[in-house]
Structure 1
Amino acid sequence: MTDDPIYHVDGDLVPASEATVSVDDRGFRYGDAAFETLRAYGGRIFAWDAHVERLERTCEALSLAHGLSAADLRARIDETLAANDLADAYVRLSITRGVQPGKLTPAPEVDPTVVVYVSPLPRGGLEGNPVWNSPATVETVETRRAPDEALPATAKTHNYLNGILARAELAADSDEALLCDLEGRVTEGATSNLCFVRDGAIHTPTTDGPVLPGITRDIVLELAREDGIPVHEGRYEPADVLEADEAVLTNRTWELRPIATLDGHAIGGGPITDRLAGLYDERVEESCYRAE
């Protein structure tokens, strides 16, 4: 990959130094846009169908009828990876409502702005290395997760102020903010989902609350069930996490990242975390590196 990466902007491959989006674009003005964070392993996008489905749910929640097919979007991603000569990479796909008159109410006709950018990541799978250097230091923050009635939790949008405000509270040496809902129950990290282990079972905040249904989270829970590990989705207090035997954060880039400490209390990973991380690596290896 060159010092000036190649981005895909509205159908064209352009150097990052020349990539621009209009200041009148609604994604810039209002955060009126959907996005997905993906990973390419060995040149293949992992869990592509799940990402497409979530992107569609986000666009439906935003009433953003962009008119683009999954095949078109995938082609733009593949072209961007090829242009940067990347096989193992972070991939971000964004679709905004495009340039419209400068008023809050969106126009029904949409000429979307589509941007794909990529950056190199280590190899994943059984022979890979994690992106993170150490287990995460996590803090419970005062900022509350926006309620689902205000901003749909299932929508993955450019409006990340909730997470930004949460991260702004962190001490300099902390890695992630853990947010609670308005009732003080644990929801998720600023950019991650939470799972913890007690008495041999996986526990995770339910997506019936204001929790983004993370694709990595879903895969981890699926792997746990297939391996006979009990899974409980419920509503938990921070104290429940502090009493955990193991705790882990999940997102597409980190995959599974153990929580070293929460609010200064040591937790760490353990045998179930290690087992699930191994199963996840096997899934990546089989789906991407060994796929024909």
Structure 2
Amino acid sequence: MTDTRDLLYHVDGDLVPASEATVRVDDRGFRYGDAAFETCRAYGGTIFAWDAHVDRLETTCELLSIDHDLSAADLRRRIDETLAANDLADAYVRLSITRGVQPGKLTPRSAVDPTVVVSVKPLPRGGVEGERVWDEPAIVRTVDTRRIPDEAIPAAAKTHNYLNGILARAELRGTDADEALVCDLEGNVAEGAASNVWFVRDGTLYTPTIEGPVLPGITRGIVRELASGADVPVSEGSYAIEDVLAADEAFLTNRTWELRPIASIDDIAVGGGPVTGRLSRAYDERVEDSCYR
């Protein structure tokens, strides 16, 4: 695999070596986490579900009042240039837009000169003939960290301020866990530190509602759609940890993992199953049809 130091990143219109890719220390993205980002996957040189990523990025920027004045075509061009410069067809892609450099005051100015960064790294081929980026089903553990209420920071905003997830993952130190299961202030299951959570009981697929403090994941939306097409009933609501522990099968979703079965939660075996397998195959077929054929 390519050494990260050998990669080229796209920083404010220029392709620069990763080791030299920098932003100013008074950039608000660095100073305050005042920035929006999207994690995408390129399959065969195509950004999968690009329109959905653009829509969510715009939602985040609107929630943060970052009027960046950049078109979707311009952002896509920067991504395509970065992939081409690194000779990558299958890759992790991260696109960030910060509010840019402003005086060191908490109150942001309405005028924005954004900082735009595209970083990439190689990933395996996806689709029907692809391979997973994970080796085993996920070991999950619950944590004491709670999800920030939507009334405090909108869950729909995918920002650089990931301290909530970092604190959740920090609780996993010294364990064998791959992911932290985070609850809301009422004790209901919200999401993983960097993933959405799903479980199956009696053939019905359940996932926490995005009316709570849950990020509306792009992969989450696709799985929801695939389940409907496969005649798998889906229920969105508020669920206790005990509901997930009693499930017939469970899995996590995010852009990098795609669908990853949950092996266990707090040492209680859960595992994948027929619904997880069917939806995973359907997802691979969607990727194959959209990006490789």
Pick the TM interval, shorter chain. Answer: over 0.9
Give, in whole Å, the separation in 2 of the partners of 1:289 and 1:172.
39
Q: 1:80 aligns with which of 79, 82, 85?
A: 82
Give, in whole Å, the separation in 1 of the partners of 2:205 and 2:143.
23
SS at match of 2:149: coil
Give, in whole Å, the separation in 1 of the partners of 2:248 and 2:85.
45
How many residue pairs match? The answer is 290
What is residue 15 of structure 2 aligned with on the other side? 13
1:118 and 2:125 aligned: no
Spell out the pairing of 1:209-288 with structure 2 (5 A cutoff): 209-288=212-291
The percent of aligned pairs where both chains have the same amino acid is 76
- TM-score by structure 1 length? 0.98
SS at match of 2:247: coil
1:105 partner letter: T
SS at match of 1:118: strand
Question: How big is the shift at 1:173?
Answer: 1.3
Stretches (4+) displaced over 3 A: none
SS at match of 1:39: strand
Spell out the pairing of 1:6-85 with structure 2 (5 A cutoff): 6-85=8-87
SS at match of 1:273: helix
Give, in whole Å, the separation in 2 of the partners of 1:172 and 1:10.
40
Structure 1: 5+ residue stretches without partners: none
Q: What is the CA deviation profile of residues 105-158 of structure 1, one whole-angstrom value per residue up to 9, with x for unaligned ones?
A: 001110000000000000000000010000000011100000000000000000
- TM-score by structure 2 length? 0.98
Is 166-175 or 194-203 further displaced after alignment? 166-175
Give, in whole Å, the separation in 2 of the partners of 1:54 and 1:178.
23
Question: How big is the shift at 1:172?
Answer: 3.1
SS at match of 2:281: helix
2:133 partner letter: V
2:16 partner letter: V
Q: What is the CA deviation profile of residues 223-270 of structure 1, one whole-angstrom value per residue up to 9, with x for unaligned ones?
A: 001110000001000000000000000000000000000011000000
SS at match of 1:155: coil
- Aligned CA RMSD, in angstroms, stands at 0.7
Q: 1:154 aligns with which of 153, 156, 173?
A: 156
1:258 partner letter: P
Structure 2: 5+ residue stretches without partners: none
Give, in whole Å, the separation in 1 of the partners of 2:191 and 2:35.
21
Is 259-268 or 163-172 further displaced after alignment? 163-172
